Amino acid sequence: MSEPMDLRDAVVEVLMEAKREGLPVMVMLSDSASTSKIAPFVAQYPESVVNVG
């Protein structure tokens, strides 16, 4: 049995897959990039991120 995945990691995986498939994904942050683990998405798709914090 595999280790359970952190929900934040799963969300980032799904968001990145959606972007690769061409879906119009936007992420809104409130100064929480480190705690939300969204950094890989921000690095790859900075044009799809809005930081309101």
Q: What's the average model confidence in pLDDT over 9-30?
A: 95
Flag whether 28 is in a domain.
Answer: yes
Provide the residue type at 6 as one letter. D
Q: How far apart are CA 27 and CA 51, in angstroms?
A: 8
> Total structural domains in the chain?
1
pTM across the whole model: 0.79
Asked whether residue 2 is domain-assigned, the answer is no
| Residue 45 covered by a domain | yes
Q: Note the pLDDT of residue 19.
A: 98
Per the domain annotation, does 15 fall within a domain?
Answer: yes
| Residue-level pLDDT at 1 | 65
The answer to whether residue 33 is domain-embedded is: yes
- Which SS3 state, helix, strand or coil, does residue 26 take? coil
Q: Three-state DSSP class for 7?
A: helix
Rounded Cα gap, residues 5 and 3, in angstroms: 6
Please give the residue range of the domain that contains residue 21: 7-51
Q: Is 39 buried (19+), middle (13-18) or exposed (0-12) by CB count in 10 A? A: exposed
Average pLDDT, the chain: 90
Q: Is 1 among the domain residues? A: no
